[in-house]
Amino acid sequence: MANKNQGPVVAFFDVDGTLTCRDFNEGLHVNPTPRVEDAIRAFVAAGNVAVVCSGRSIVNLSDLEHLPFSGYVTLDGTHVIYDDEVIYDRTIAPDTLAATVDEMRRIGMEAAFEGTYGTAALRVGLDHLPGYEDIPSLEEYERSGAPMVFGKANFTDESLDVCLASDYLMSSYTYLNVADGNHELTIPGTSKGVGGRALLEALPFLPAHVYAFGDSENDLEILSIADTAVVMGNARDAVKAHADYVTDDVRDDGVVTALRHFGLI
């Protein structure tokens, strides 16, 4: 990057809890407020580069396609797209996935496996995956012929105790608390920071400044590589401790507040 010409400002934006929240969304859809959407457009119209940086997969971010994002760091950094080109991709190894499913069944844990081609739910009859009712079961997903490649697993508070007590799961994955009763198991050695670095390396310019906006534990790595870390007012104190600037709550359009504070719109 040192040999590149200096270019515009780059900002990474988390989605859930940052650009939008459950109060605004319907199911797995993503619905930023009109003020937030207008702010993203104004940020890019000023010559800057906006990048989505989410735990979601690209297939669950289609609601943002109408906004001028140049890149997508998805699945907690395991799948990265810049200028419509995949520049980084990591998935759970097949043998690890098989062993994970066996272990989750053994301990009675329900989880949703999320990947670039889709999401599949491992259900054991406990109804511990609110919001994933319309997601096919792992068995249905496999029978459909969809690629069995996933970047992470999502689960809720109801499965937390059995997950944390599993030596296999805790030694095979990185555990993250992503707030609001939601948790993730991610591939060791991957993170939003790893994916963010891959995207920055792929840029044809050296950013004038890098901002990162987030609210939960899975944002800590991208916040750490930014020149300025912006944390939402709805974040837990443990995440706010990593902020250069704490903005308003997501429900009060904190992204807009921060972009205006830094003179970016």
Angle value at C-alpha 165, between 130 and 91, nearest 5 degrees = 65
Closest-CA residue to 43 (of 6, 5, 82, 10)? 10
Flag whether pLDDT at 83 surpasses 80: yes
pLDDT of residue 27: 64
Distance from C-alpha of 231 to C-alpha of 237, rounded to nearest angstrom: 10
Domain boundaries, the chain: 10-90+191-261, 94-186
Q: How many CB atoms lie within 10 A of CB 219?
A: 32
Tokens found for residue 106? 């053994």
Can you tell me the mean pLDDT for 189-216? 97
Q: pLDDT for 238-250, tens place per residue?
A: 999 999 999 999 9
| Helix runs in 46-166, H state only | 94-107, 138-143, 160-164
Q: What is the fold of 94-186?
A: 3.30.1240
**pLDDT band at 127, cuts 50/70/90?**
confident
Q: What is the fold of 10-90+191-261?
A: Rossmann fold (3.40.50)
- Which residues neighbour 113 within 8 Å (Cβ) at sequence distance 6 or greater? 92, 97, 119, 120, 121, 122, 138, 150, 152, 153, 154
pTM value surpassing 0.85:
yes
> Which one-letter DSSP state was computed for residue 10?
E
Tokens found for residue 133? 């009712």
